[in-house]
Amino acid sequence: MALVAGVLLLSMAAVLLLRWVNPPTSAVMATHWIASRVTSGNAPSVFHRWVDWELIPLPVALAAIAAEDQRFPTHRGFDLVEIRRALATFQDGGRLRGASTITQQTAKNLFLWSGRDYLRKGLEVWFTILLETFWSKQRILEVYLNIAQFSPDTYGVGAASGRYLGRHVSDLGFQDAALLAAVLPNPILYRLDAPSARVKRRAAWIGRQMRQLGGLEYLKRL
């Protein structure tokens, strides 16, 4: 019990600290670096550049919400509507799709390892609750945009915009934002350096969703 209590207190302290301190890396980035080092023996490349919230254009934030979690401003970490829909689809014989929110993805990417085991899922729930309790929605989205994976070795909108769009993230507009968000479901398969027809269609869909949500006014709900 003492060990469990210690782990819970340590996790709470870490989440509280990162409310104000920008994380220099994430569990996913660290795992990528270690795995590449072990496999190749060479120093692997991990492209990451932190960008403060004030320098992230609002269209970039809106595109991420439109693409990944349209109820982000109103839920408390778990989108029960999407969870029920995913379960209903599975019960009808369909594939069990994910229903992770931006908060869940932030918790997983920042603190945990990849996988579907019960321990990791349980910790994801715990960290999601902590993030929603101690951080603002704006802070959750800021960290998410800075640690999300945009290609096999590129993390965060700062590095992705510079490497693949050729300019600083602060100069991006609506179309650029939609293109960045289009690769988020699978940054290994979907490419920013050579966007496929599927990526372009998804970017167009995200653009329509951004407008249907009400445009930048939607972000006032954060």
Question: pLDDT category, 32, cuts 50, 70, 90?
Answer: confident
Outline where DSSP puts E strands in the chain. Answer: 47-48, 149-151, 154-155
Candidate from 81-85, 127-131, 150-154 with smallest mean pLDDT: 81-85
pLDDT in tens, 76-120: 999 888 878 877 765 666 555 567 999 999 999 999 988 778 889
From CA 104, how far away is CA 79, in angstroms rounded? 10
Helix then strand count (H, E) for the chain reads 10, 3
From CA 197, how far away is CA 205, in angstroms rounded? 12
Main-chain dihedrals φ then ψ at residue 195, nearest 5 degrees:
-60, 130
Average pLDDT over all residues of the chain: 91
Domain residue extents for the chain: 49-221
CATH 3.30.300.130, domain 49-221, yes or no: no
Candidate from 7-16, 56-65, 97-106, 196-205 with smallest mean pLDDT: 97-106
pTM for the full predicted model: 0.93
Question: pLDDT category, 166, cuts 50, 70, 90?
Answer: very high
From CA 19, how far away is CA 41, in angstroms rounded? 35
From CA 58, how far away is CA 62, in angstroms rounded? 6
Instruction: From 59, 58, 34, 61, select the one nearest 46 (Cα to Cα).
Output: 34
Beta bridge partners of 155: 48, 149
